Chain A
Amino acid sequence: MQIYVDGVKSYEVAGSSVTKSVSVSAGSHRITVQAVDNAGGIAKATINVTAN
């Protein structure tokens, strides 16, 4: 799985779950967690956060 911050890959790990601290600057950001399965299927979830 991969974690993207504002569209840039920040971290990736094997398996079906991920827990990781990422660094963001102050302000609004889009964080996406993405997974690719072995049938070529791609799934993702995106949240918006504000760092202070």
Chain B
Amino acid sequence: MTSLAMKFYAVAVVFPIIFNPLSSFAVTQVVPTTTLAAQTGNNTSTSPSFGGTTNGNISGKNNISKVSATTLLYPGATTKIYAHLMAWFGGSGHMNVGYASDDPAQVTRQVNDMLSRGLSGAIIDWYGPNNARVNDASLYVKQEAEKHSNFDFAIMEDVGALKPCGATSGCDVTGRMIKDLVYAYNTFEESPAYMRVGTRPVVFFFGVDAYALDWARVRNGVPGNPIFVFRNNSGFTHSQSGGSFSWEGLSSDPNNMGLGYLDSFYSTGNKYPSLQSVGSSYKGFDDSIASWGSNRLLNQQCGQTWLKTMAEAGKYFSTSNQLDSMQLVTWNDYEEGTALETGINNCVSVSASLSGSTLGWTLSGQANTVDHFTIFISLDGVNLMRLATVANSSRALDLSTFSLASGAYKFFVQAVGKPFLTNKMSGAVSYSTSTLPTTTSVSISSPGNNTTVSNTPTVSGKAISSVGNIVDADLCGWCEEL
């Protein structure tokens, strides 16, 4: 393939081609399909009133890539990606993020947002049936999941569900756990949208080993034969284990992405092929604003932590040894600075300019955080139409290759981020076809200029075009001398 052919292969033209019935050639008509506001404003389930936090959660005013998160996994991955969902917002125990977790409309927004980013479901941090807000939100997630054949959910029993019992003298914590799981089975796990492996529902546990639980009793006390999934390497050998999940690899070095932690987890998981391995990925960690925080920090590095932790599973899994699932840590733990709901700032900016008929652009920031570029055309700078999708290695587009009707246009270049990363839009670049440099020239070889001729002179002329194609005359019946 020639370089020229490769160049065109890398450009997907997305504009509507209209054939003027009176005439001529294929003409690009600008039919707006979106707006500048839609392409630069909040397109997530983040509350638009959320102003961002000092621990790395960007505001609810950003536009986030909706490229599927699955594209960040190894080639051929069948791994399902789940968001870890906190359902505790809206009360006094947690910060105000602009929404209540038990607002069904918010749950709908969150599920739709997760789906739009290529996720397969949500794992809910659950505090048992006695925490009304979290439990109600979980019921809404169940209802919403049941509307979508490609979205499922699971519950993760959090140690917080056991704390009231654990703090009560004489309370049977194992019994409390059993009651919670019986409720979970009857309430959630019989849903067709509940996460299953084969026919068995999957239940996760977080931190519950703070209490000395009788797991054999738990197993015998709950219906449905659920698969129990615990945390970290030790989860694979935990009593009653059906698998384990990784979380975040934190250390004293804020630039250590915790890849060693993930490596250890994945290599351990590979030793237990009959158990579920649930990997993890995260943007960073900063609990400096959490009431329970201890100033643990893992820097986001403008999206690099996210990209690297998503890619790490590829070192251990492949089409012949699939990672069962991946959990995103987390969808919305704003207080620990791990919220992916807002998206991740890739710290990129894009600047566009025009040189002749070539639209060019430059990118500042780390180019590996950009998936591709989308070129928009507009008549008014407000209403936009996608003109082309261009590979992330390209920095120019020849506008003369588009049959634009005479007129004034504005172009925008959007750097579309890798999944979950911010999209960035250039400023408008004005372009008028009347300023189009001449790409075609015509010469007359005979008769000569200012000569005397017969009444039937033979006129000979030819055209040379850098564009390459002269329009067929039979398609140009409308043509007049212009």
Contacts and interface: CB of A to CB of B under 8 A. Distances in A.
Nearest to A20: B459
A3 B34 CA distance: 43
B476 interface: yes
Interface residues of B, number: 52
B192 to A, nearest CB: 54
Shortest Cβ-Cβ A-B pairs, 10 listed: A33-B461, A35-B463, A12-B473, A17-B462, A43-B440, A47-B449, A38-B469, A14-B472, A45-B442, A19-B460
Nearest to B28: A40
B322 interface: no
B459 A45 contact: no
Interface string B445-464: 00111111111111111111
A44 B469 contact: no
Nearest to B477: A12
B459 A22 contact: yes
Interface stretch (B38-46, B273-281, B396-404, B415-423): B396-404
Interface residues of A, number: 43
A16 B402 CA distance: 20
A7 B481 CA distance: 6
Contacts of A35: 440, 442, 463, 465, 470-471
B158 to A, nearest CB: 62
27 contacts: A2-B476, A9-B481, A17-B460, A17-B461, A17-B462, A19-B461, A21-B457, A25-B455, A31-B444, A31-B457, A33-B444, A34-B482, A35-B470, A37-B439, A37-B463, A38-B25, A38-B403, A38-B469, A39-B400, A39-B436, A39-B467, A40-B27, A43-B438, A43-B442, A44-B442, A45-B444, A51-B453
Contacts of B447: 31, 47, 49
Nearest to A40: B403
A12 B455 contact: no
A14 B449 CA distance: 24
A41 B459 contact: no
B45 to A, nearest CB: 43
A4 B450 contact: no
B143 interface: no
Contact of A23 (B440, B443, B456): B456
A52 B471 contact: no
A21 B438 CA distance: 28
Contact of B25 (A16, A21, A33, A40): A40
B481 A26 contact: no
A4 B459 CA distance: 10
B25 A34 contact: no
A16 B459 contact: no
Contacts of B436: 39-41
A39 B400 CA distance: 6
Nearest to A32: B481
A20 B473 CA distance: 14
Contact of B456 (A22, A37, A47, A50): A22
A51 to B, nearest CB: 5
A48 B481 contact: no
Given A16-B463, A37-B471, A39-B439, A49 B451 contact: yes
A44 B462 contact: no
B399 to A, nearest CB: 8
Instruction: Output the residue of A13, A15, A49 with the most chain B CB within 10 A.
Output: A49
A51 B442 contact: no
A8 B356 CA distance: 32
B449 A34 contact: no
Contacts of B130: none
Contacts of A32: 481
B167 interface: no
B320 interface: no
B482 A42 contact: yes
B213 to A, nearest CB: 73
A27 B441 CA distance: 28
Contacts of A12: 473-474, 476, 479
A43 B459 contact: no
Contacts of A50: 450-453
Given A16-B464, A45-B461, A49-B447, A37 B440 contact: yes
A4 B482 CA distance: 11
Nearest to A12: B473
A39 B403 contact: yes
B433 interface: yes
B480 interface: yes
Given A9-B480, A36-B476, A39-B402, 15 more contacts: A1-B442, A17-B460, A19-B459, A26-B455, A33-B442, A33-B444, A34-B482, A35-B442, A35-B470, A37-B439, A38-B471, A43-B442, A43-B465, A44-B442, A52-B452
